Amino acid sequence: MLIIRALSEESGSLHRISESDDTRLLMEAIDSGQEVKDVGHAGTAMRFLTAYFALQPGTVTLTGSDRMKQRPLYPLIGALRELGAEIECLEKEGYPPVRITGGYIRGGNIRIDGGISSQFISALMMVGPILEGGLELSLSGKAVSETYIQMTLALMKEAGVPARFDGHKITVPQHDYQLGSFTVEADWSSASYWYQVAALLPGSRLKLPHLQRRSVQGDSVLADLFSHLGVTTRFTEEGVELHAAGDHPKNRFDHDFIGSPDLVQTCAVTCCALRVPFRFTGTSTLVIKETDRIAALRSELGKLGFILSSGPRGEWISWDGTEGTRRDHPLIRTYHDHRMAMAFAPLSVYTGSISIDDPDVVTKSYPGYWSDLKKAGFRVGEMED
């Protein structure tokens, strides 16, 4: 919505904007007059801003963390170049940092691989209405995280652009954005850690404000997923109420996460703690996130005695119930990944206590996470070196 507002001729008002680092960095990049814009670990900002600045007069350099420089940008760069954008990769072809000389780029019909990241597709969709003649995107291969494409479509329609998607082709007409007042939904991805807390604490009741039943977010599938792990969701006018009865009828949990990959870490850690074997598919995009999340899960759950397996390209991850030796007082590494910290912290219920390195990493998406844990009765403190 911040990108859509920036592309709108009349700036609309956005309410309940996240205070996360990702949001702050994207806003600063749009508003700052500096030529070099550093987005740190914010992959969404890198992808969206690459398309945005291709349209803006002047030259900017987009850069980020060392990990960001390892995350591919080439499908998006190639598509934008095909439309006439001037983009130079400064270190490695197809990867950040990039120098973008913005200006006129044309509309048209382009083909893009749908199997790497939906963020490339969303970035192109959002600039599509500004291009002369609009934009038609033909997706090759199976689109991953299609729910995010649908979310982008829904928000573009909210801003007056009648874009369409038939499963293989996205049609974005040339059209002015008309963004009025918009209230941002609460984040279902962040809610997953509270579903996890509920599942690990039978008898617990939690209230999470502002979450909606009719959500544009694919991660709203949480309510159904955790119903198999003993958590009941009741929707109210204020949000949702969670109740954990303590029984989870599933003796194993298999699910395709292609539409909700950000929930994999939470669900994998929860299943291990509850001793529910699982096999998760649709996980190939996890290897190019803030870290290789498949490798990170296997390593850190391994410290707790859970022996996981995975496909050669990260296309699946599973646990068959095999347990090995559990380390005493292990330090859980986050690998600069906010979701590793938040998915593992509730395991203190299972282990008695748990140590997480780089705790500030949660500010990427959920700055208030540690203080909210304290509100819920957890004891949280800094470790001495």
Residues tagged active-site: 262
Spatial contact of 220 and 192, defined as CB atoms under 8 Å apart: no
Which residues lie below 8 Å from residue 307, measured CB to CB, with a gap of 6+?
319, 322, 323, 324
Eight-class DSSP state of 141 = S
The two structure tokens encoding residue 324: 């090995």
CB contact at 8 A, 357 and 300 = no
Reading the block at residue 205, the tokens are: 């009741």
Residues in CB range of 372: below 8 A, 6 or more apart: none
Q: What is the largest CA-CA distance in the chain?
A: 62
Find out whether 52 and 3 touch, Cβ atoms under 8 Å: yes
The Cα–Cα gap between 146 and 152 comes to: 10
Which residue type occupies 103?
A: G
User: 348, 370 in Cβ contact below 8 A?
Assistant: no
Residue 138: Cβ within 10 Å count: 12
Q: How far apart are CA 10 and CA 343, in angstroms?
A: 40
Angstrom distance (rounded) from CA 297 to CA 320 = 15
d(CA 14, CA 185): 11
Identify whether 261 is preceded by a cis peptide bond (ω within 30 of 0): no
- The residue length of the chain stands at 385
Are the C-beta atoms of 88 and 61 separated by less than 8 Å? no
